[in-house]
Amino acid sequence: MNPVAWRLLSLLLVLSAALPGAQAQNVTEPTLDRIRANGTIYVGHREASIPFSYMVGDEVVGFSTDLCDRVVDAVRAKLGMPNLKVVRVPVTSFSRILMLMTGSVDLECGSTTNTRIRQQRIAFSVTTFVSGVKALVRKDAGIERIADLSGKVVVTTSGTTTERTVRSVLAARKLPAARLRTTGKHVESFAMVTSRQADAFVLDEPILAGLMASSPDAGNLKLLEENFGFEPYGIGMRREDPEFKKLVDDTLVAMMKSGEFERIYDKWFMSPIPPNNHSLQLPMGEMLREQLRNPNDTGI
């Protein structure tokens, strides 16, 4: 972990008990009991993970946000608390895991990849999305495939699984001459490509597509056809709370079986979305359809 990450982690450890939803001294209490006692559910969100969880003005919107709203409705029904208050808490690539572990948020509703390493610290819902990991490049960069990244500057966002994936792929392809850099935010990585400070930005395909859709430089950019890998997303929650995980999973599975999940998918991936009313036009892939047929929380 780099020095910036260590400083952020240390700061979060100090401040976590002071956060509105923090119950660091009581994180073993069942989540539903804590929500009932507080009269509040704390929902973590991202600020710029289009189309999963992002800000439009003061409102949090997105695919993952809509899914979590249905989970919140299920919590209200389970607890008999129709007026349950929802507090939305911004999280980052660095802070999201820790905020779940300390009880600062009850759900993390963004674009978090379910990995076996992360499963040692938090729990995940059944898979809600399967993303290809791709490279965004400028059309005039002469880059058509991963092999063309040799000698190029490749950027990704720190604190994500993509960083490890990129390093592994570049090493496996014997492209050590490629120079990998990281930034703290997706928008910063994206800006490095548009400003020609980097040749490629590697991240999950839908997030790259969302950034392109909202950028005036979209016409000068493209995604490579090759994938660096595939990553399953899930809603994050605290570990060792089977009752709460069952409620989350049951809610999502019911949506998958009823068709509501696919309607929400089409809303965010096949229709115009805010703020610029551009459509990502990303049809549901076969891997996600298989998850809908056979829901599971298997990580990578």
Same domain, 124 and 10: yes
The string of pLDDT tens digits covering residues 45-94 is 999 999 999 999 999 999 999 999 999 999 999 999 999 999 999 999 98
> For residue 169, what is the domain's CATH number?
3.40.190.10
The string of pLDDT tens digits covering residues 49-58 is 999 999 999 9
Say which amino acid occupies 89.
V
For the sheet containing 59-61, what is the strand order? 48-49, 53-56, 59-61
Question: How many domains in the chain?
Answer: 2
Same domain, 13 and 121: yes
User: Residue 142 to residues 27, 109, 183, 281: CA-CA distances in angstroms?
Assistant: 52, 37, 24, 25
Higher pLDDT, 150 or 14: 150
Range of the domain at 42: 3-128+234-293
Contact predicate 205/213, CB 8 Å = no
Cβ neighbours, 10 Å, residue 152: 19
Q: Which residues contact 139 (CB under 8 A, 6 or more apart)?
A: 220, 221, 222
- pLDDT bin (cut points 50, 70, 90) of residue 139 is very high
pLDDT at residue number 160? 87
Same domain, 111 and 251: yes
3-state SS, residue 221 = strand
Q: ω before 206 within 30° of 0 (cis)?
A: no
Cross-strand pairs, 278: 273
Q: Which residue has the tokens 């969302």?
A: 210
